[in-house]
């Protein structure tokens, strides 16, 4: 069917892509993987060393932790779609540059439009910045945001817990709350809460990507039960 075919074409386009300088040093681009019918889409930052070698997302140490986190949510890897905002590895795993984020965004935008996930889980601040332009990850980890009708849950990046072990139980707890969504279709109230008000000193650094619009700030979740038509038109306005 169209979705599967187009997702496959995107994979092929990404594998050949030369839209930014990251094409130069890659061994493999990492388009992302997962079934075409999913409720949950996980979006990380960019491939690392092992991902670049294997052409698959989250196969290194962070990937191992991600699998544990999915388990805490009652999920396995093959039940979710996993990808990144940038599909090729930045040298030495540096943050993607704004021009790389811009060059690569059409692939992720189309993957989201095709998959129409119920929930997008962002992993880390670079992925978060695509959707949410207010709040620091330390303040809004584990929260649900309504971004033009799309539920987005902002999580710490699993790699953060490899560097700061105290984040590990926090990540596990945040993922465990997704379990309720999977069994009931609605996210628990505890992650629908508004974030704490930020003091000016806590105001976020400018997002690395000017993609998150100010209209997409955090609000309460919409009432469930949108029609498919509403859902897709809202999603289109996301991009």
The nearest distance, CB 109 to ligand SF4, in angstroms, is: 12
Residues 10-39 within binding reach of ligand SF4 (CB under 6 A): 14, 17-20, 22-23, 29
Answer for the pair 25, 91: CB distance below 8 angstroms, yes or no.
yes
Q: Which residue is nearest to ligand URA (CB)?
A: 44
Contact 21, 65 (CB under 8 A): no
Q: Does the footprint of ligand URA cover residue 100 (CB under 6 A)?
A: no
Q: Is 111 in the site for ligand URA (CB under 6 A)?
A: no
DSSP code, position 138: H
What x/- string results for residues 156 through 195 when contact with ligand URA is judged by CB under 6 A?
---x------------------------------------
Q: How many amino acids of this chain bind ligand URA (CB under 6 A)?
A: 12
Contacted by 47, from ligand URA, ligand SF4, none: CB < 5 to 8 Å by type: ligand URA
Using CA of residue 145, residue 148, residue 151, residue 153, what is the dihedral sign?
Answer: negative
Decide if residue 88 touches ligand SF4 (CB under 6 A).
Answer: yes
Let me know: does 150 contact 218? Beta carbons within 8 Å: no
**Minimum Å distance from CB 224 to ligand SF4?**
34
DSSP state of 193: S
Report the Cα–Cα distance between both ends of the chain, in Å, rounded: 24
- Chain centroid, CA 94 distance in Å: 18
- Give start and end residues of each alpha helix (H) in the chain: 2-16, 49-54, 61-72, 98-115, 125-131, 137-140, 158-163, 167-176, 178-184, 228-236
Binding residues vs ligand URA (CB under 6 A) = 30, 44-48, 51, 57-58, 62, 84, 159
Binding residues vs ligand SF4 (CB under 6 A) = 14, 17-20, 22-23, 29, 86-88, 100, 103-104
């Amino acid at each position: 069917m169209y979705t599967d075919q187009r997702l496959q074409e995107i994979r092929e386009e990404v594998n050949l892509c030369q839209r930014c300088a990251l094409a130069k040093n890659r061994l493999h681009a990492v388009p992302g993987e997962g079934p075409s019918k999913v409720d949950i889409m996980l979006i990380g930052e960019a491939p690392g060393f092992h991902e670049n070698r294997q052409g698959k997302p989250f196969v290194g140490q962070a990937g191992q932790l991600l699998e544990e986190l999915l388990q805490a949510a009652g999920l396995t890897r093959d039940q979710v779609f996993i990808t990144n905002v940038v599909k090729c590895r930045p040298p030495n795993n540096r943050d993607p540059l704004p021009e790389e984020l811009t060059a690569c965004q059409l692939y992720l935008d189309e993957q989201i439009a095709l998959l129409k996930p119920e929930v997008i889980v962002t992993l880390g601040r670079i992925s978060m910045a695509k959707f949410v332009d207010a709040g620091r990850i330390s303040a809004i980890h584990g929260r649900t945001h309504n971004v033009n009708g799309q539920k987005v849950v902002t999580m710490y990046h699993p790699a953060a817990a490899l560097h700061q072990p105290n984040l590990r139980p926090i990540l596990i707890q945040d993922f465990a709350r997704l379990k309720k969504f999977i069994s009931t279709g609605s996210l628990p109230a505890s992650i629908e809460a508004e974030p704490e008000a930020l003091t000016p000193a806590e105001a976020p650094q400018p997002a690395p990507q000017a993609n998150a619009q100010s209209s997409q700030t955090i609000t309460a979740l919409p009432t469930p039960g949108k029609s498919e038509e509403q859902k897709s038109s809202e999603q289109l306005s996301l991009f």
